[in-house]
Structure 1
Amino acid sequence: MPGRILKKSESAVSSVVAAVLLLGIMVSVITVINVSYIPEWRTGAEQAHMDEVFFDMSNLKSHIDILSATVSGQPAGSISTNVPIRAGGGSIPVVSPGKSGGMLSINMNEFSMRITASDSVVNNSSGAFLEDLGSITYRSDNSNFVDQEYGYENGALILAQGELSLMRQSPSIGIRKTDNSTNITLDVNAIRIRGPVRSISSNSIEEVYITYDSSNTLYDNENLFSELTLNIETEYPRAWEMFFEGAVADAGLEAGEYVLTSNASAVVITIKGASGEDVKANIRKNVFDVHLNVFEN
Structure 2
Amino acid sequence: MSILLAILVIVILLTIVTSFWMPEWMETIEHDHSKEVNSQFGHIKSSIDKQILNGDTKFLIGNPLTLGSKGFSVFGTDSTGTFSINSFRNDQLAYYCNVRNESGAINVTCTGGMRYESNNLHYVDHYLAYENGAIILGQGDGQVIRTRPQFTIEKHGPVTHMGFVLITLSGLETSVTG
> Which TM-score applies when normalising by structure 1?
0.55
SS at match of 2:123: coil
Provide Cα deviations, 1:140-191, integer angstroms capped at 9, x if missing partner: 00111010100000011111112211111111111222x24x2221101111
Deviations 1:72-107 (A, max 9, x none): 5xx6xx643211100011424x76474211110001
Compare CA radii of gyration and give the structure with the larger one. Answer: 1
3-state SS, counterpart of residue 39 of structure 1: helix
> Which residue identity does 2:61 align to in structure 1?
T
> 2:105 is matched with which residue: 120, 124, 140?
124
Question: 1:102 aligns to what?
Answer: 81
How many residue pairs end up in the alignment? 174
Classify the secondary structure of the residue corresponding to 1:190. Answer: coil
Are residue 81 (structure 1) and residue 61 (structure 2) matched?
yes
> Sequence identity of aligned pairs in percent?
25
Aligned-partner Cα distance in 2 for 1:91–1:159: 24
Residue 195 of structure 1 corresponds to 171
In the alignment, the residues of structure 2 paired with residue 97 and residue 35 of structure 1 have an alpha-carbon distance, to the nearest angstrom, of 12
Q: Deviations over 1:35-62 (max 9, x none)?
A: 1110111111101000010011111111
Query: Does the alignment pair 1:20 with 2:4?
Result: yes
Counterpart code for 2:41: M
AA of the residue aligned to 2:65: I
Query: How do 1:47-196 and structure 2 match up within 5 A?
Result: 47-71=31-55, 79-92=59-72, 96=75, 98-107=77-86, 108-109=88-89, 110-119=93-102, 123-126=104-107, 129-131=108-110, 133-177=111-155, 179-180=156-157, 182-196=158-172
Residue 19 of structure 2 corresponds to residue 35 of structure 1: yes
**Residues in 2 aligned to 1:80 and 1:195: alpha-carbon distance in whole angstroms:** 10
Q: Which residue of 2 aligns with 1:286?
A: none
Distance 2:177 2:124 in 1: 18
TM-score, normalised by the number of residues in structure 2: 0.89
Q: Secondary structure at the match of 2:122?
A: coil
1:13 aligns with none
- Would you say the 8 A contact 1:102–1:139 is kept in 2? yes
Distance 2:174 2:40 in 1: 19
Preserved CA contact (<8 Å) 1:111 1:153? no
Specify the SS of the correspondent of 1:35: helix
Q: Distance in 1 between matches of 2:28 and 2:94?
A: 33
Instruction: Structure 2: state its 5+ residue gaps.
Output: none
Measure the CA separation in 2 of the matches of 1:170 and 1:69: 16
Kept in 2, the 8 Å contact 1:48–1:90? The answer is: no
